[in-house]
Amino acid sequence: MRIGELAERAGTTTRTLRYYEARGLLPARRTVNGYREYDEDDLRLLHQIRTLQDFGFELEDTRPFVECLQAGHPAGDSCPASLDVYRAKLAELDLCIDRMMRVRAEVAVQLARAEVEAAARTPGGPDPKCELAPCDSAALSPRKDPVP
């Protein structure tokens, strides 16, 4: 099949396929007239790459899975290098979950404090106005890290 058909069947673009080819993740077979030519195994590679990326894996992290499939294994995660990538991703996710749980706990503490303070105000008494102080619009902009 040609690149357009492969892109359509894989649910991606021809530009993406060319990028994968340039990165060495998709084989670059050509017909005698120069057209790229792909087969069902290439579609399988693409499904593996896309699934892993949907799970949050970086493109380079998919390489051991692709190589495992290219070596003839029935699944991209049946090789030791793929299992190592899984382990590293799980460790990364565990760190993120731990960090989010700490943030969640702190937000819960702040909410509880704020609710107690709000309940302690005199019912029917004057409520302090909540006004936004003038602010610098740059403070509201997302932080931009310098490009390395």
Dihedrals phi, psi of 30, to nearest 5 degrees = -125, 145
- 28 pLDDT tier (thresholds 50, 70, 90): confident
Give the pLDDT confidence score for residue 72 in this predicted structure. Answer: 93
- Residue 3 near residue 14, CB atoms below 8 Å: yes
Q: What architecture is domain 3-120?
A: Orthogonal Bundle (1.10)
Give the pLDDT confidence score for residue 143 in this predicted structure. Answer: 43
How far is it, in rounded angstroms, from Cα 37 to Cα 47? 17
Q: Which residues pair with 36 in a beta bridge?
A: 30
